Amino acid sequence: MRRAVVLFAGMAVLLGAVLPSAHGLAAPPKSPYTPREFAVVIGAENTPGPIDIYGDRAAYQLYFFGTTKPPVAVNLANGASFTADDGYVSSLRPHAIWADNLVWIVGYNPSKIEMYNLTSGKRSTLVQTGNSIGAVDLWQNVLVWLEYVAEPADEIIKARNLTNGQEYLIAAVPGYDINPRIAGDVVVWERSQEAGEQSDIYGFRFSTGKTFAVSANPWKEYSPAAYGDIVVWADERGGSYQESDIYARNLATNDEIAVCTAPGSLRPPAIWGDLVVWSDGRDEENLSGVDIYGYDLKQKQEFAVTRHIGSQTAPAIYGKTVVWQDFRNSPQIKYTSGDMYGATLLAQASADPLPVTGAPEAFDGLIEVVWPHSGRPGTDTDKANIGAFLFSPPGTKKEVPCSFDPPLQLWVAQDARPAQMVDETYYRTWNIQPATWHFNDVDVSLAKDPSYRLYFFLRVEGGYQFRTNVWAHAADARTFFPLQQRVTAALAEPPQSVDAVIQIVWPHEDKPVTEATLVNVSVNLFAPSSTVSVPADWSPRVTLYRSLNNGIGEPAASGKKRLVTEGSLIYPVWDFNDVDVSAARDPLNKYYFRVEVAGVETHSTIWAHGADARTYFPATDTPECLCNSCQ
């Protein structure tokens, strides 16, 4: 009876050459500022929710999908905090801070607005109503809030001067008026006829008592903020939320300003003085994820505040201090909890764009499991799913950071043919532990034929020091020496990519595998999918990689170029001499060889060397720690 096996063993791949990236990061702008980051709230039970900031104090609520948490004010300078004894989480703006005063909403239908002076400790009730209050804002001594009523409108916006008690009815027309924000003489808000439908930005001036349209267009405009005569908002004139932009209007001149129209979703902005900040999704599908960007209205220059891996959202700004929600330490799953980070914008121009931070410089990628569809044997299925783990630092079993999701590629070599990429994934799967990078529906139909073998390995873009193993998938465990590939011609110029074909591996003194300790290896380099050799005068660095069983591989030897003359045809061959294979004398061991050529994309064959062609399942690696506890 033929023994059906799935083979997997390790192979050395330490990538010096980097694959060209079709998903490269957009070049960030150079900056008039140098951000100095700091942590504010780390490891909280829930995510610091809507954030407001004034001076050295940030106000927030621990928000987790509707659970009620009291508001908190934290001193950014010394870490001292105050937590209210009640409050609830509105879906809009449940609290605000100005100078020493923290205000927040208490209760739902009926509701009231409480104020607490963080210096004196005095607490007072500012507003009490039988209706529900959904949002609040504070500027100096003027309070503005959103109140849900049945008549005459679905919502009304009110304001009160806390010094003289004068009250203002800002908006009370049929429809939906939400997200009120105040800045000195102006209140701005979002207005729509139907909840969730097309919305515009409106404003009100206390000095004139008049309402006016800030921006009214046949697309969604929402989440306004203001400072002085400048109003900023999120704008979907690009066609969708996924392509939203940041716009502004100068109320003194009526000039509209395109603050940022970069690709991707640009989330609601905040403003203080000349600086506008927002959550920016231009690199959401790439390594840095969602970042915080800014724009200096006076200098007319965009800049990045943070480009740490993971998602940074919901920024608030005071002066040159920006704070935001941050998910750099969190598994990228639904309903995860985040932290709060901040940055001080130092007035030091940066000569270089702000780099991505938080990514490991080096890591290992290990294929850990290949499972055929429907649980059928590997020789009786056309497709399989393949799972991989990433570990850093190299040589450890520590998971890479939670928010590190590089574009991971799966490559396969069939028998002695050069390898090709078969799939690419950008995210790990979190519904199992440890988290796994999955490649689904991989074609393995050839392996049903005992004369074929498939060798899988990983590659990654981005210039990392990266090592991978190899998984051999076959119906017949025996390994055959392939016929050498004949050279038919030679190129005049070096190609951009090469097929690296291992032509022969021979033990010293022609000893059998069970006795040989050293072998020599010869490799030809061809133009892709051809028998045309690279030029005779080309001398790149060619490295042979070797791994034992399922281990991570290491460079085994550097190739020595040798010219071969066949009639009028002259072409190069690279020899690797005295390569140690002593461990393969044990029938339980097998070496895998592969080649990389510096500076070009390399499609290498894979050569298996062992005394016994059978390969055994190694134990799946067990991570020493999970991503959010490894750093």
b/e per residue, 590-620, with b = 16+ CB within 10 A? bbbbbbbbeebbbbbbbbbbbbbbebeeeee
45-104: per-residue pLDDT in tens? 888 989 999 999 999 998 766 566 889 999 999 999 999 988 777 778 899 999 999 999
Task: Write down the pLDDT at residue 27.
Answer: 59
- Cβ atoms 270, 316 nearer than 8 A: yes
Task: Write down the pLDDT at residue 570.
Answer: 95
Domain ranges of the chain: 34-346, 362-478, 489-609
Q: How does residue 3 score in pLDDT terms, banded at 50, 70 and 90? A: very low
Cα–Cα distance between 6 and 627 in angstroms, integer? 30
Cα–Cα distance between 311 and 288 in angstroms, integer? 8
- Cβ atoms 269, 225 nearer than 8 A: yes
Q: Residue 113: which H helix or E strand, with range? A: strand 111-117
Cα–Cα distance between 566 and 18 in angstroms, integer? 34
Domains 362-478 and 489-609 share a fold: yes
Cα–Cα distance between 159 and 148 in angstroms, integer? 14
Report residue 250: phi and psi, to 5°.
-90, 110
10-34: per-residue pLDDT in tens? 332 333 233 333 333 455 667 899 9
Cα–Cα distance between 384 and 441 in angstroms, integer? 5
Cα–Cα distance between 122 and 143 in angstroms, integer? 17
Q: Residue 194 pLDDT more than 70?
A: yes
Residue 531's Cβ-count burial label (10 Å; 0-12, 13-18, 19+) is: middle
499-541: per-residue pLDDT in tens? 999 988 888 877 888 888 998 999 999 999 999 999 999 999 9
Q: Residue 232: which H helix or E strand, with range? A: strand 230-235
For 347-435, strand residue ranges (E) read 362-372, 383-391, 408-414, 420-425, 428-429
Q: What's the helix, strand, coil split of the chain in %, to 5?
A: 5, 50, 45
Segment 547-562 shows an average pLDDT of 88
Cα–Cα distance between 59 and 137 in angstroms, integer? 12
Task: Write down the pLDDT at residue 67.
Answer: 64
Q: Residue 212 pLDDT more than 90?
A: yes
372-430: per-residue pLDDT in tens? 776 665 567 888 889 999 999 998 999 999 889 888 999 999 988 899 999 999 888 87
Which of 625, 603, 627, 597 shows the shortest CA–CA distance to 16? 597
Task: Write down the pLDDT at residue 182.
Answer: 98
Segment 319-335 shows an average pLDDT of 87
Residue where the block lists tokens 């799972």: 387
Cα–Cα distance between 183 and 129 in angstroms, integer? 25
- Cβ atoms 428, 406 nearer than 8 A: no
- Cβ atoms 217, 282 nearer than 8 A: no
Peptide bond between residue 494 and the one before it cis (omega within 30 degrees of 0): no
Which of 194, 225, 429, 224 shows the shortest CA–CA distance to 333? 429
Q: Residue 627: which H helix or E strand, with range? A: helix 627-630
Task: Write down the pLDDT at residue 533.
Answer: 96
Cα 522 → chain centroid: 41
How many C-beta atoms lie closer than 10 Å to residue 180's C-beta?
Answer: 27
How many C-beta atoms lie closer than 10 Å to residue 484's C-beta?
Answer: 13
Share of the chain above pLDDT 90, in %: 62
Residue 78's Cβ-count burial label (10 Å; 0-12, 13-18, 19+) is: exposed
Find out if CATH 2.60.40 is the number for domain 489-609: yes
Task: Write down the pLDDT at residue 62.
Answer: 87
Which residues sit opposite 342 in a β-bridge? 38, 323
Q: Residue 306: which H helix or E strand, with range? A: strand 301-306
585-617: per-residue pLDDT in tens? 888 888 889 999 999 999 998 888 887 655 444
Peptide bond between residue 434 and the one before it cis (omega within 30 degrees of 0): yes
136-186: per-residue pLDDT in tens? 999 999 999 999 987 766 789 999 999 999 999 999 888 889 999 999 999
Q: How many Å from the N-terminal Cα to the C-terminal Cα in the chain?
A: 50
Architecture (CATH level 2) of domain 362-478: Sandwich (2.60)
Task: Write down the pLDDT at residue 474.
Answer: 76
Task: Write down the pLDDT at residue 379.
Answer: 64
Cα–Cα distance between 312 and 290 in angstroms, integer? 6
Find out if CATH 1.10.10.10 is the number for domain 34-346: no
- Cβ atoms 17, 601 nearer than 8 A: yes
Report residue 158: phi and psi, to 5°.
-125, 160
Q: How does residue 447 score in pLDDT terms, banded at 50, 70 and 90? A: confident
Q: How does residue 476 score in pLDDT terms, banded at 50, 70 and 90? A: low
Report residue 527: phi and psi, to 5°.
-60, 150
Task: Write down the pLDDT at residue 285.
Answer: 82
- Cβ atoms 96, 59 nearer than 8 A: yes
